[in-house]
Structure formats: structure tokens, C-alpha cells
Homo-oligomer: A and B are copies of this chain.
Amino acid sequence: MPTAVSDHYLMNKRTYNQFCPLAYSLDVIGDRWTLLIIRELMFGPRRYTDLQQGLPGIGTNLLAKRLKDMEAADIISQQKLPPPAASHVYTLTERGKSLQPIIMQLAEWGKPYLAEGFQSDDYFSTVSCMSALRMMFTPEKATGISATVDISRGSEAFFVQVHRGVLAVQTGLAPLADASVRFDDLKTLLMLIGNPATRQQAQASGMMTLTGDETVFDSLLGAFNLPV
């Protein structure tokens, strides 16, 4: 009964009650966690538990509520996965995808605060890392580099490919990767981009595990630039 969802959305929701497009926007996406949920969906569909992983601290009841509200507002939709996986995923609708430029601008605006002083125990979401890699990619440094590397942490994985000056960052494992790296904290990857020479030290200290072609991984690091 879809009416129940709509009713829930229309009835028990706090609103600014202002005749103003900004206020209406905020009524829809201004609640705590909402924009971060959308960020988590920006690289493709995610399951409920994937979202929980990417958003530590959200609390399962709140995540469920947000997902319902967002579905009622038509910014995400729930989709069933084909038979093998007896599960379903959440996806951005067109309306949800249209928030991407806003999210990018907000991220750009927030960079100084992050740079000024982040807490060492800050969680680095997989999606946030993928997004960061896209931003740090430097085409001029990528000439001659051809590398496909799987990156994983815990049960999450994505891969990065640089080939002929083109970057691809995607969820999941690459069909044919040159190397695989595993981190406990993805911030280690940023550290390596800033200082590639510390790779062996990172391996020795157990901060990362690298299998496959090490030189390809090193060359991949060269295609990125840590923002000053």
C-alpha cells in the first residue's frame, strides 16, 4: 500500500512552513544524514547494510526512516536484485542524481574546514575515498600510466583504473587487475599519494597489504596529486 508511505511523508514531518524554494529544499534534504546517504549512493546502488557501513553512528531506525522519507520524496528508489542475490538495493532517482552538483559544491566549500584540522579518528568512507580520488586525478601526470588496481577495506571493495590518460573508479572488483591493495584505514592511501616513497614502510607496518604487481601500483600513485 503505497499510500501508507505517502501518508507518513506528508503527515509526521517537521517543516519550515515558508513560501520559499530554499525552505522547501531543506524540508526534503535538510535533515541530518540525508545528504550523506545521497553521497553514499553517488557511485551506484547500495544495500541497507552497505549504507550502515558508510555512515557509522546513524542508528538503524533512523536510516530506515530516512530511506522511507527519501523514497516518498522521490529522490531514491528501492530495487529488487535479480534472483541469485535475494536482496534489494537503493538507487538515486533522476531527481536524486540532480543533487550531485550541489553536493560537489558543498564538498568544495567544506574543504578548508577539513584541511584546517580533521580528527585522526574520523571515518573515511569508501565512497568518500572514491570521490577524493576522482578529484585528485591529474591527467598531465597520467601519460604513459596503465594500471588497474583493486582496493579493499573490510568487506568493501572498489577498483581504480588509469589508462591512456583516462581515470575510472568503480565499485566492486576489476575483471582483471594488475594488483590488489587492502587497507585498514583508507587515509593510508592518501598518505601514499602524498608521499609514495613510504609504501614499503606502510607494508612493513601492516597498514597495507599489497599483492600483484608492485611497480604498477607505484606508477598508479603517480597519477594523483594531493591538493595543497
Contact = CB atoms under 8 A, between A and B. Distances in A.
Given A102-B102, A102-B105, A30 B22 contact: no
A108 interface: yes
A98 interface: yes
Interface string A1-38: 00000000000000011111111111110101001100
Nearest to A116: B24
A21 B119 contact: no
A23 B132 CA distance: 13
Given A26-B36, A27-B113, A113-B27, A19 B122 contact: yes
A18 B111 contact: no
A57 interface: yes
A46 to B, nearest CB: 16
The A interface is mostly helix, strand or loop, or mixed, namely helix
11 contacts: A17-B122, A18-B36, A20-B39, A20-B107, A22-B107, A23-B110, A26-B110, A30-B30, A98-B109, A99-B109, A101-B105
A105 B107 contact: no
Interface of A: 16-28, 30, 32, 35-36, 39, 56-57, 73, 98-99, 101-103, 105-111, 113-114, 118-119, 121-125, 128, 187
Contact of A125 (B18, B102, B123): B18
Given A18-B124, A57-B17, A106 B114 contact: no
